[in-house]
Amino acid sequence: MCTYLPAACSIFGFRPALTLAVRSVDLLSRKSDRNKKEHHTDQYHSDQLVIRRGQTFQIELDLSRTFNPNTDKLHLELKTGDPNSWVSKRTHIIIPLVDELQDESWEAKIVEQNVNRVKLSVNSPITAVIGKYKLTVTTQCLKTSETTTHDSDKDIYMLFNPWCEDDTVYMEGEKELKEYVLNDTGRIYYGTEKQIGARTWNFGQFDEGILEACLFVLDNSEVPPSGRGDPVNVVRVISAMINSPDDRGILEGNWSGNYAGGTSPTAWSGSVEILRQYHKEGGTPVKYGQCWVFSGVTTTVLRCLGIPTRSVTNFQSAHDTDVSLTTDVYFDENMEPIHHLNSDSVWNFHVWNDCWMARPDLPPGMGGWQAVDSTPQETSHGTFRCGPASLAAIRSGQVYLKFDTPFVFAEVNSDKIYWQRNLDSTFSQIHSEKKAVGHCISTKAVGSDERVDITHLYKYPEDSEEERIAVETACRYGSKPDVYSSPIAEDVRVEVMMEGEGPRMGGDAQLKIVVKNTSSQPRRTTLHSQVAVMYYTGVLKDTVKKDTLNVELKPQEEKIIDWVLPYTQYQNQLVDQAALMLTLSGRVSETQQVLANQTSFRLRTPDLHIEPIGESCVGKETSAKITFTNPLPCTLRNVVIRVEGLGLRDLHPIRVGDVSKHANVTVTEHFIPTIAGKRKLVASLDCKQLSQVHGVADIDVHESQ
């Protein structure tokens, strides 16, 4: 659209030959154009111009006549956050035409001119605000003082630039950038430390409509566009907007086991449908999410905006509710747990995110990976969000550095302190576990689907002097700074062991209790055991079995006790994740040493097996066979298999119906690939009686001949 602004005219009226107007603007935004290739944005399914800040891009103008730099003027204007665009807040940008481009400023230069067509090279500063910009081109003829404006019919999307050394999100290494920014699928880990499961997640950050949805999320927040140039600020906003309790964010959390009116968290296998639904419905939270869903969507949004990000799973993850930086377990005089006091919990696993950036707001050395947790657990400055917290600060116990470092430190490195109530209602510390939380911290490896352990990035080796110093440093800033004043001697140890991959759903659960006397004297104890069904968050539901074991140990003797939980005792009690917690407690008769141990385990579920049928080509229908065996000695009701694959097909629910006990089910899924290359077809089972059943297959898609 062109607008002519009248200026001084001769008595003969306008002289059109002198008027300089823009007839059209070409943003060179096609996938094959140089802009998207150089800015690593050619995977975005968008015909708009998607670029990264701090890097030049090119546009072409078709003018009404030849541009004469001696008698004509031309400048560009970009606006984001309209109608609240201000030059002073860097949301209304005026880009002058210059002879030579300088770094760190908005400027444009003519690099090619052919009669009426002009190609401009445009530079953006590394601090530019990210978001969607409207482009206006203004021209002026100095001879007549006539001014015209032309609004581009396409928009410019500005992203962070991890390829640019001066951007605070800069990451070195092409393999790392390919993984943490450009990879649109990944792996998310779950289960327990001894039974680690993995599921494929479709991040889909380049899918159609996802970039627009991510910017809609930012627009829906209370942060003005002027605050979107700082990745620390953007990450903190996204952490809050992924959940919904206080700001109508993307996902509504639900840990109740009742998912009526929404989708079970275990049934999701990607972020695309969640973000599309949130955008389409104008910001109504999508039902429902749990930690791995919050994390998967966070990875999608941050990678889409240009911030290197990964999903991270912490096994035995503590939830400290009183800022003590310890995980506290309370018993009464008879060594029975005091449930109303045990508000601290240890989740079997918890999934959050790491994102990569410099931290100029912190002391030197605190840049690099930052922990971000979008699952709504505790508020931070009045809002459910967490991070970014520097991993370097977490590792060293510097919990006074922002943001929310104490909470993340407690998740990965708090000691578990056991307290017993005295007759006068005070409590005494009776036992401590220094290795109870923060195990096997896991993420997907760069360039492969293997799991890599990154525990060493979060804490020093257990029991090393550096690790103990970090813990005690952190606790000095907590609500119980004197907890380490009285170390306790111990010579009897109790632990729980599991054989192989552990118990399977539908069968008896078998574990081994190991009791060892490390002293030169005999020892006697009575062990009280109770096993309870547990949500993966560490919240106990119902106790399903209690036992008492009398144990006598000779000097240096180790005893292994078989422990069995029959299927009939847990079959009607399980909740999502099929997790249980075995709690052992007791006292050594000779020394009054308290024995305490809590072990969580899950009942392993079967996989969905996906087998591609024939060769796959772009634009041609192909098929895959999906098979599943019901592991339970009862009928599964209303089974649905949800199938999706980036570049293969959108989410498609297959209604299977009822599946008899131990029965085999086979369904065939038909789809038409749209993108060549190695793609992943992901399937998940949606069934009230059985969760965390999923599968994935690699599909090699060839170009059509």
621 belongs to an annotated ligand binding site: no
Residue 373 is a catalytic residue: yes
Residue (of 661, 199, 625) closest to 444 by Cα position: 199
Q: How far apart are CA 52 and CA 37, in angstroms?
A: 11
CB 561 within 8 A of CB 551: yes
Q: Which of 279, 350, 439, 694 is catalytic?
A: 350
H-only helix segments in 362-498: 391-396, 405-413, 455-458, 465-475
490 belongs to an annotated ligand binding site: no
462 belongs to an annotated ligand binding site: yes
Q: How far apart are CA 263 and CA 136, in angstroms?
A: 44
CB 491 within 8 A of CB 518: yes
Residue 62 is a catalytic residue: no
Peptide bond into 633 cis (omega under 30): no
Token output for 87? 């030059």
| Residue 10: CB atoms within 10 Å | 8
Residue (of 356, 386, 350, 352) closest to 369 by Cα position: 356
> In the structure, how many helices (H) and strands (E) does the chain have?
11, 41
Q: What is the DSSP string of 344-381?
A: -EEEEEEEEEEEEE--TTS-TT--EEEEE--S-SSEET
C-alpha distances (whole Å) from 253 to each of 205, 245, 323, 510, 659 are 22, 8, 23, 33, 29
CA torsion angle 382 385 389 394 (round to 10):
90
Q: How far apart are CA 599 and CA 580, in angstroms?
A: 8
CB 427 within 8 A of CB 330: yes
Q: How far apart are CA 472 and CA 476, in angstroms?
A: 6
DSSP strand pairing (72-79 vs 131-141): antiparallel
Q: Which of 291, 355, 386, 687 is catalytic?
A: 291
Q: Which of 155, 167, 373, 686 is catalytic?
A: 373
Residue (of 620, 633, 600, 604) closest to 703 by Cα position: 620
How remote is the C-alpha of 541 from its chain's centroid?
Answer: 27
193 belongs to an annotated ligand binding site: no
| Extended strands (E) in 506-557 | 509-517, 523-534, 540-553
Q: How far apart are CA 312 and CA 298, in angstroms?
A: 11
What crossing angle do the helices spanning 291-305 and 272-280 adopt, rounded to 10°?
A: 80
Residue 350 is a catalytic residue: yes
What residues pair up with 595 in beta bridges, in sequence order? 586
| Residue 487: CB atoms within 10 Å | 8
Active-site annotation, residues: 291, 350, 373
Binding residues: 413, 415, 462, 467
Binding residues for Ca(2+): 413, 415, 462, 467
